Amino acid sequence: MTRPLVAVLDYGSGNVHSAVKALDAAGADARLTSDRALVLEADGLVVPGVGAFRAVMDALRASRAEELIDRRLAGGRPVLGICVGMQVLFERGVERGVDTEGLGEWPGTVTELDAPVLPHMGWNTVESGEGSRLFRGLEHERFYFVHSFGAQHWQLDVQPPFPEPTLTWCSYGASPFLAAVENGPLSATQFHPEKSGQAGIRLLSNWIDGLHGANL
């Protein structure tokens, strides 16, 4: 079977080459690109994100990347956000008093975790949602996190006939936060699959497997 083409969005975010390597290891033909046609036509799009919410949003808007993400999702074409690439999918992010508008694909605000030590850095277990495709065969694995902020509430009210999103949570500090979301063609992880060893490669492979039928 042909390796699915996965575009890794190049908009100036750091730590993207490790994501490309992990996607290749997971079975994709992964390409770091800012080419708009390739981003739109690829079987899958990965939106990485490192650093502050506002900086990532500024870079996405400067490259008009939000238009590409919207167009892909409108056509039901898969998108995967990673770390801050997940956070910016929500309506807003508040970091140290700075309130920034996000992409607004999901309602809600990303806020600082209520924990005695920040950032939340290192390996942690997650509670995968029932029927999760991303976590198939990974129900007891640990994943690598590096963040101080997260989505601590889920506010999207989905009505039939649309399926309910699959939510995966993680506990750190006083309140749980979303570790992953699977919502139709849009998926995201707060942790870094590319830094999570074989468990992360398997998770990316599960996502890539879903690309074969998503674009038929």
DSSP string of 164-200, one letter each residue: PPEEEEEEETTEEEEEEEEETTEEEESS-GGGSHHHH
State which H helix or E strand residue 206 sits in. helix 197-209
**Rounded CA Rg of the chain:** 16
Q: Give the domain range for residue 134.
A: 5-214
CA–CA separation, 58 and 64 (whole Å): 10
Domains in the chain, number: 1
Question: What is the CA angle 41-47-51, rounded to 5?
Answer: 155
Report the CATH number at residue 103: 3.40.50.880
* Given the residues 83, 105, 141, 170, the one annotated as active site: 83
pLDDT classification of 215: cutoffs 50, 70, 90: low
Query: Is 109 in contact with 150 (CB distance < 8 Å)?
Result: no
Confidence of residue 202 (pLDDT cuts 50, 70, 90): very high
Per annotation, catalytic residue among 91, 101, 194, 212: 194
Mean pLDDT of all residues belonging to the chain = 95
Q: Which helix (H) or strand (E) holds 90?
A: strand 90-95
Six token digits for residue 11: 């908009």
Residue range 99-139, pLDDT digits in tens:
999 999 999 999 999 999 999 999 999 999 999 999 999 98
Judge whether 120 counts as a catalytic residue: no
- The residue annotated as part of the active site, out of 41, 95, 192, 212, is 192
Q: What is the pLDDT of residues 32-87, one digit of tens each?
A: 999 999 999 999 999 999 999 999 999 999 999 999 999 999 999 999 999 999 99
Query: Distance (Å, rounded) from C-alpha 124 to C-alpha 174?
Result: 15
Is 83 marked active-site?
yes
Active site residue 194: yes
